Every structure is written in structure tokens, then in C-alpha cells.
Structure 1
Amino acid sequence: MRSMTTLEQLSQTTRSLYETVVHSFDSLSLVDLNHKPASDSWSMLECLEHLNRYSRYYNPALAKAIAQNSTGNYVQSITYSWLGKKSLEMVRPQNMKKHKTVKHMNPNNSQLTRATLKEFLQHQQELLQLIRDAVKADLSEKAVPVEFFQLLKLRIGEALEFVVAHQERHVQQALRVKQQLAQQAAA
């Protein structure tokens, strides 16, 4: 797969997630945004806060990796390591299997405000810039430490794809919470 096509897809998906969050959540009340379908499930804001916690780690890690590997001799295709394949398989939105998140990335029962939405949108802008910058990087370079075990590293291209797929997964989760709330209100 050509990296330009993949990077363009990642950019398009990121812009789409930005627009979805603005149009789907921005007009909701804080009470609705914090609505939880069940005590052990996440609210819409908790879904976004989970992504914010990942972005606080991965955006700087990606920025560093891209900057250090933008020598002009860049590899134009994204190749996948076993870790990259496994990570992507786990977070793809089509994979409906629930996965337990590490404790410090679990926002369950957090007191969240509209600042969570604002931070998410800021992270999306940063990610769009990282994707633009990645055009000049060696996407096959193993340079992005995995958040929960930093001795393991993802390749730049697969790390970008992982971040975007993970965001897609949890924005879809937040949309399902919104839909459940609307169904309860209609009943």
C-alpha cells in the first residue's frame, strides 16, 4: 500500500472524527455528555477522555519519531510488525470485543467538563499536522515506544494508523452512548 494513500486516508478519517465530535456532541448538555448507560460503562466524555489520555502520550511520541526520521530518505510504504498487526487488530472499530484498558488510561467515574471536548479537538488538529509531517518521514522506522511498555516500539506508519483506528473505535462507542440516551428519552 502506498503511504501517500494511507496518510491521506488517515488524514481524511481524522478530519471526519473532528467533524463528528463537533456535530454530534458540542450541542449536548454536560449532563447528557456525562450520561452512563451502566455504572461500568463509559459516558460520551469518558470515551473522549480515554482518547485524550492516549493523545497526551502518542502525539509527542509521534512528533519526536517523525522529526528524528525525516531525513529525506523516506520509505513510502507502511509495513507491519507482529506488534503493529496485533495492536491494530485489537483497536479496529470493526472488532467489537471489549478489551480491558490499563488503569491510568481508564477514565471511568471521572468528573469531566466541556474542556474534555475542547482538548480532544485540539489533539485532532495536532494529529493532522503529524500526518502531514509524516510525508517526509521513514514510515517503516521502529521509533514510537508503546505507551504501556516502552521497550517495545511501533513503526511510525503503523503507530499513526493505530492512533487513528483507536480514536475511530471510541468515537463510535461515544455515538452508541448518545444513541442509547436518545432511545431512553424517547421511551
Structure 2
Amino acid sequence: MKAVDKNNFITNLYQRTEVLLDEAVRCYQNLGEEVLYFSANQQSWNIAECLSHLNSYGNYYLPKLEDILSKPNHFSNKAFTAGWLGSYFVKMMQRRGKRFKAAKIHLPSVRDAYFEVAEFISQQERMLKCLKSFEKIAIDDVRIATSINRLIRLKVGDVLEFMVAHHERHAEQIKQIIVKRENMLGQGTAFTAFTL
């Protein structure tokens, strides 16, 4: 993989996370329960489920990232070179229109729709703090075990990029859910806004 300027890499992820946070604050937290629980069909996730799924990843990775930052670290401005597996996971998340089955440990488990929204916002704020801190620390040297298989370890930079790409993928899914609901309402189609 080609080495990239670390500052540019982190800045890009930071800006993309700011967009995700802004969308959540401006849009998600102002949606009613009927929208957060709306699903076009039984096979599709609703918004609360999308956020629960993302929160499960944050619950695993954010403490690991914060733990790395809590330890003494040497300043490093070293360029970042993505690992082949990390690049593969990021590219998977960026493939639009391709569906992937969620790992069992990351299947949605919605407590309350508004809790999921608040938790997602909190996690995006934590992610921004992590990204800011990793501006000064090497993201190429330390590895984190993946949530799917603890034997597979990814570079910190790969984890950061995967998380942002994964969030963007589901943010796009959430936009599509809102549009589908609006289209069904506009066409007068009967639908069920179900609660979990």
C-alpha cells in the first residue's frame, strides 16, 4: 500500500466524522419514534437498528482506541501505510449497493430509539477526540484485535478509517429509509411504523 501523509489522513477522517455528527444532531435527534422505527419491509433495518449496529462497533473499538491514548506515547508524524486487510475492509464499506450480513455480535439490539440516537452522537464526539489525539501519535505501529476475530489485528489507522467508512455507509442507508418513508406517505401507501 502507498504511504499517505498522516496529518492529511487524520484531517480527512476528522472532517468526515464532523459531517456524521452534524447529521445526527440536525436530523436523527429530531425524528419522531414513528420514523426511527420505520422499516419498508421485514428484511430491512430501521434507523434505530442501524444506529444500534454502529453503536455496537463503537462500544468495542472506542475503549480500545482510548486505552491506547491513555498510555504514554511518543510523538510521531510518520506517514501512514494502510494494511492490506484494513484496506479490504474499508473498500467493502465503500461498495454501494452491495449488502453484507452483519456479524452476530453486531446485530442490532435496540433498547430505545432515542437512547441509540444519543449514544451515536456521544460516540461521534468521542471519535472526534480520538482522531484529534492521534494527530500526535503513530497510527501505523499499534494494532487492535478486531471484534469479529480477536486473532485478526488491524493497524490503528485502518480501524479509524474503517469506522468512518462504516458510519458513512449506514448514514446513507438512513437517508434511504427516510426517503422511502416519505415516498410511501406521499403515495398514500399503508405502512406499519412498528416498535421493538
TM-score (norm 2): 0.88
Please give the alpha-carbon distance, in whole angstroms, between the structure 2 residues aligned to 1:2 and 1:144. Answer: 21
Unaligned runs of 5+ in 2: 188-196
**Alignment partner of 1:107 is 2:108:** yes
Please give the alpha-carbon distance, in whole angstroms, between the structure 2 residues aligned to 1:147 and 1:182. Answer: 35
Matching residue's letter, 2:40 = P
**Alignment partner of 1:158 is 2:161:** no
Alignment of 1:76-115 (within 5 A): 76-92=78-94, 94-107=95-108, 110=110, 112-115=112-115
Alignment of 1:24-103 (within 5 A): 24-68=27-71, 70-72=73-75, 74-92=76-94, 94-103=95-104
Share of identical aligned residues, percent? Answer: 26
* Aligned equivalent of 1:10, options 9, 13, 38: 13
Unaligned runs of 5+ in 1: none
3-state secondary structure, aligned to 1:154: strand
The change in CA–CA distance for 1:177 and 1:84 in structure 2 (over 3 A counts) is same
Equivalent pairs, count:
184
**Alignment partner of 1:19 is 2:15:** no
Please give the alpha-carbon distance, in whole angstroms, between the structure 2 residues aligned to 1:88 and 1:134. Answer: 19
| Bigger CA radius of gyration | 2
- Report the counterpart of residue 147 of structure 1 in structure 2: 147
C-alpha displacement of 1:106: 1.1
After superposition, give the CA deviation of every residue in 1:85-129 in whole Å (9 maximum; x if it has no partner).
11111112x432111111121117x45321110000000010000
C-alpha displacement of 1:70: 2.4
- The answer to whether the 8 Å contact 1:78/1:157 transfers is yes
- The answer to whether the 8 Å contact 1:2/1:78 transfers is yes
- The answer to whether the 8 Å contact 2:78/2:138 transfers is yes
Q: Provide the aligned C-alpha RMSD in A.
A: 1.6
C-alpha displacement of 1:77: 1.8
Please give the alpha-carbon distance, in whole angstroms, between the structure 2 residues aligned to 1:30 and 1:159. Answer: 32
C-alpha displacement of 1:67: 4.1
C-alpha displacement of 1:69: 7.1
- The answer to whether the 8 Å contact 1:65/1:156 transfers is no
The change in CA–CA distance for 1:76 and 1:67 in structure 2 (over 3 A counts) is farther
The change in CA–CA distance for 1:161 and 1:48 in structure 2 (over 3 A counts) is same
3-state secondary structure, aligned to 2:30: coil
